[in-house]
Amino acid sequence: MSSTSHSAESHPVAANLERVLPRSALLTDLYQLTMLDAYLAQGMLDQAVFEFFVRRMPENRSFLMAAGLEQLLDFLENLTFSATEIEWLAATGRFSDRLPEYLSEFRFRGDVYAMPEGTTFFADEPAVQIVASLPEAQFIETRLINLIHYQTLVASKAARCVLAAPGKLLVDFGLRRAHGAEAGLLAARAAFIAGFSGTSNVLASAQFGIPMYGTMAHSFVQAHASEVDAFEQFARTFPAGTTLLIDTYDTVAGARRVTELVAKLRPLGINIRAVRLDSGDLATLARRVREILDGNGCEDVGIFCSGSLNEYILAQQFGDDVPVDGFGIGTHLDVSADAPYLDCAYKIEEYAGMARRKRSTGKSTWPGRKQVYREFDAGGGLRNDLVALADEQATGRSLLEPVMRGGKRVAAPLPLSEVRAYAAAELAALPETMHDPSVRIAYPVEISALLQALATRVDHAFA
C-alpha cells in the first residue's frame, strides 16, 4: 500500500475545493411541502419534538454506531430555499400562495440533541432529537434520515470489520460500487470514524482529511508486455514505496517475480513495500506468498488482501496464523451488503406540549421527549441502557447531548481524529461477545416505567 508518509490530505488548499454535498432544499419528499402548506393554513406553528431511532436491529447486528451528525448540522445551518427553487415550486401549481413567501424566509431555527458520532447504540433509542416549530421539524425529515441512516449503516458495518480483524490495517475500497458519489464519500468518512485507517477515495481524502491508500489495477499489468515489466516500471516510478498486484496471471509466480525484482532494485534504493492478492483462496495464498517472500530475503515486504471481503471472511478465514498485514474492503462495506438498510424512523413524539404516539401495527412509537441513560460495569464495559423521559431522574451517562441551539451549533466540529478516538473507546466498551460477527447478542435496553405509563395515557387521548 502507498501509505501516508505525507499528510497533505489536510493541506489548506483543500478548503478551496468544490463543495460536494448538495444543499438544495428540494432534496426532500413532496409531502413535506404539502404538509408544510397545510400547517401554515392552520397556523400550526407550535413547538414539536421529533426523534430519529432504529425500530429493530437488522438480523446480523448486535450494535450500531451513530454517524452522520456533522453533515446533518451542516445541512440544518445552511438550509434555505433559493429564489429559483421557490419559483419552480410555485410553477408546479400544487401549493397555496402563502407557501412561497414562507419559504423565502425559511430557516432551521430549532434545537438539536444527539448522540455524538461514534456512539454505540441500539434499537428503540433516540439517536437524534429535534426540538423546533412543527413546520421546521417536519420539513427536515427526509434529508435527516438520508444523512444519518447511511453513515450509521456504514459505521456499524465498518466497526464489525475492525472488531473482526484486530490490529490489521483496513482500507475502504468501495467508491466504485457505492450507491453514487455521495455514498462513496460518506462511506469513507464513516469507516474512518469506526476505525479504518484510510480510503482509496481521493475526494474523501481531500474533503475530510482521511489518509488515502492505493496500489495498482490489473489493467496496469495487462497493458504491459509482461508482468515483471509492469512491476519494474511501477516501482521505478514510485521509488519511495509501492504495492504490487500479483494475481493477474498466477499469484505464486507473481510472488517469485517480486522477490527477483526486490533483489534487483533494492541496491538502487527503490522500495517495494507490499504485494496485493485479489483473487483465489486468499488465506492459503497469503501463507504460500509469505514463504516465498521470507525465503528470498523479502521479510520486509508486506501482504495486503482484497476481493469481496467482509467481516465474516476476516473473522473466519484470517486468524492470527495467516500472515496478512491489511485488507481492502470495498463493496460489502459501502453497500453494507448483509444489511443494506436500517429499519429506522423519524417520528413526532410531542406537539404543543402534548406527547404523541403512532400506533400503526408493528410500527408503534414511544411517545414524549426522551433521554437515553447508559450504565457501565466496574471495568467500564456496557451494562444496560434505559430509555426514559427527558425530565425523569435517572442514573448513568446521558447519551443525547445538545449540539445545536436556535439553529446554530453549540461548538465547532471536532477533528475527525478525535471522533475516531472516541469511537474506538466506544468499541472497547462493548461486550467481547459482540466481536464475533456471526453471533447476534441481545443487549438490555429498558423502557422506563414512566414512559410506559405515558404511552398508555396517550393511547387513550388520541384516535
**Phi and psi torsions of 314, nearest 5°:** -60, -45
Nearest-approach distance from CB 262 to a second copy, in angstroms: 18
**Phi and psi torsions of 254, nearest 5°:** -60, -40
Bridge-based pairing of strands 111-114 and 401-405 is antiparallel
- Using the 8-state DSSP alphabet, how is residue 412 labeled? P
* Residue of the chain from 44, 394, 441, 445 that contacts a second copy (CB under 8 A): 44
Residue 192 CA to residue 338 CA, distance in Å, equals 20
**Binding piece for a second copy, criterion CB under 8 A, among 93-101, 108-116, 370-378, 429-437:** 93-101
User: Which residues have a Cβ under 8 Å from the Cβ of 360 and sit 6 or more positions away?
Assistant: none
One-letter identity of residue 414: L
Count of Cβ atoms closer than 10 Å to residue 171 Cβ: 29
Nearest-approach distance from CB 403 to a second copy, in angstroms: 21
Inter-CA distances, 379 with 217, 258, 344, Å: 46, 48, 32
The answer to whether 358 and 337 have CB atoms below 8 angstroms apart is no
* Residue of the chain from 56, 359, 397, 457 that contacts a second copy (CB under 8 A): 359
* Residue of the chain from 28, 60, 80, 384 that contacts a second copy (CB under 8 A): 28
* Residue of the chain from 41, 425, 428, 453 that contacts a second copy (CB under 8 A): 41
Which residues within the stretch 183-212 sit at the binding site for a second copy (CB under 8 A)?
Answer: 183-187, 200-203, 205-206, 212
Q: Among residues 113 and 231, whose Cβ is nearest to a second copy?
A: 231
Nearest-approach distance from CB 320 to a second copy, in angstroms: 25
Which residues within the stretch 417-446 sit at the binding site for a second copy (CB under 8 A)?
Answer: none
Q: Among residues 79 and 434, whose Cβ is nearest to a second copy?
A: 79
The answer to whether 241 and 235 have CB atoms below 8 angstroms apart is no
H helices of 43-122, where?
69-77, 83-91, 98-104
Q: What number of chain residues touch a second copy (CB under 8 A)?
A: 124
* Residue of the chain from 178, 261, 372, 387 that contacts a second copy (CB under 8 A): 178
Q: Rule CB under 8 A: is residue 457 a binding residue for a second copy?
A: no
Q: Rule CB under 8 A: is residue 452 a binding residue for a second copy?
A: no
Nearest-approach distance from CB 381 to a second copy, in angstroms: 32
Q: Within 13 Å of residue 293, how many CA atoms lie on the same side as its CB?
A: 24
The answer to whether 66 and 118 have CB atoms below 8 angstroms apart is yes
Q: Within 13 Å of residue 373, how many CA atoms lie on the same side as its CB?
A: 16
Q: Rule CB under 8 A: is residue 78 a binding residue for a second copy?
A: no
* Residue of the chain from 341, 391, 432, 457 that contacts a second copy (CB under 8 A): 341
* Residue of the chain from 78, 101, 104, 176 that contacts a second copy (CB under 8 A): 176
Grid coordinates representing 380 are 467500564
Which among 72, 154, 150, 77 has a CA at the least distance from the CA of 115?
72
Q: Rule CB under 8 A: is residue 294 a binding residue for a second copy?
A: no
Q: Rule CB under 8 A: is residue 38 a binding residue for a second copy?
A: yes
* Residue of the chain from 107, 109, 168, 177 that contacts a second copy (CB under 8 A): 177
Q: Rule CB under 8 A: is residue 453 a binding residue for a second copy?
A: no
Which residues within the stretch 95-124 sit at the binding site for a second copy (CB under 8 A)?
Answer: 96
Q: Among residues 220 and 422, whose Cβ is nearest to a second copy?
A: 220
* Residue of the chain from 331, 384, 407, 421 that contacts a second copy (CB under 8 A): 331
Q: Rule CB under 8 A: is residue 136 a binding residue for a second copy?
A: no
Residue 125's SS3 state is: coil
**Binding piece for a second copy, criterion CB under 8 A, among 16-24, 107-115, 370-378, 424-432:** 16-24
Q: Rule CB under 8 A: is residue 220 a binding residue for a second copy?
A: yes
The answer to whether 250 and 227 have CB atoms below 8 angstroms apart is no
- Using the 8-state DSSP alphabet, how is residue 177 labeled? G
Residue 186 CA to residue 172 CA, distance in Å, equals 11
Q: Rule CB under 8 A: is residue 130 a binding residue for a second copy?
A: no
Which residues within the stretch 225-284 sit at the binding site for a second copy (CB under 8 A)?
Answer: 225-227, 233-234, 236-238, 247-250, 253, 278-280
Count of Cβ atoms closer than 10 Å to residue 398 Cβ: 14
The answer to whether 188 and 199 have CB atoms below 8 angstroms apart is yes
